[in-house]
Amino acid sequence: LGYRHFDTAKIYGSEPALGDAITDAILDGVTGRGDVFLTSKLWSSDHHDPVSAIRQTLKKLRMEYVDLYLVHWPVKLKTWVDYPVPREEDFERLELEATWSGMERCLDLGLCRSIGVSNFSSKKVHRLLDYASVTPAVNQVEMHPMWRQTKLREFCRDHKIHVSAYSPLGGPGNLWGSTAVALRWGLSKGASVIVKSFNRDRIKENIGALNLTLDEQDLINIEKMEQWKIMRGEFLVNDTTSPYKNIQGLWDDEI
C-alpha cells in the first residue's frame, strides 16, 4: 500500500516478524533497504548497555542498522525485566547521562542512523540537552486531536527536534467520522504519525490521509475539543522505588 516507516521495539516482540517481512520484500525486489525507514527502541532494562541492546535488536531484525533508535521511557529497570508492566521492586536509579552516552555510541558505531527519545516531557528533553553531544532527532509521544501536545511541539520545534505521534487516532471511541481526519491533523502540525491496525481496509483508509485537506474551520473545531491523555503511565509510578511518585512527576505537569 506504500507504507515505508515501520516502528517496532524490543518490548513489542515484533522485531523478528518485521525483520522477516522487510527481508522478504527486499529479496523479492519490492523495495530496497534504503527505501525503508526502520525505528526501534531501547527498553528500560537495557539502559546499562545500549550498544548490546541494539545489537540484539539488529540480530532479530536481520538488519545491519536501524534508521532511528529511541530511549523508550525515561525509566531504568533491572536487567531481567522483559515485560511491559514492572513490579515495584524492578526499578533502578536512572542516570540518563550515561544512557545517552551509550546511545551516542550506537550512533558512532553505525548501528543506527539517528537517535532520539520517546515519552519525554519538554523539561526532560531540556535537561538532556544540557549534556548531550548529539541532540535527539526525534521525540515520539502520544499526540492526536484530543491530546494536542502544543507546548511540547513548540519546544521541540525551537530545538529542531522532530515530533513523531503514536496513538494518532486517539484510541478506541474517537469522536470524528473518519480516522483520516485525525491523521491529517497530525501531519498538518509537522508530525509523523504512527498508525497500528490489523485490518487491511483500515490500513488503506489510513494512508488516504495523505490526500486529505483540512480547512481552517476543521482546525478551529479540533482546537476546541476537550483533551485527555490515553497513555498516562501509571504503571511507572509508585511511592517507593520509582523516581516518579505521581504522573505529574513523570510528565512534569504536562498532563
- The residues carrying an active-site annotation are 12
72 is in an annotated binding site: yes
How many angstroms separate the CA atoms of 191 and 189, rounded? 6
Cα 47 to Cα 49: distance, rounded to the nearest angstrom: 6
* Max CA distance (Å), the chain: 53
Count of other CB atoms within 10 angstroms of residue 71: 28
Output the CA–CA distances (angstroms, integers) from residue 185 to 39, 138, 178, 191, 223, in the order listed.
22, 19, 12, 9, 11
Distance separating alpha carbons of residues 5 and 11, to the nearest angstrom? 18
Give the chain's radius of gyration (CA, Å): 18
**3-state per-residue secondary structure call for 181-216:** HHHHHHHHCCCEEECCCCCHHHHHHHHHHHHCCCCH
**Three-state secondary-structure class, residue 224:** coil
C-alpha cell at 88: 515495584
Specify the 3-state DSSP secondary structure of 77. strand
Q: Which positions make up the binding site for substrate?
A: 72
Q: Which positions make up the binding site?
A: 72
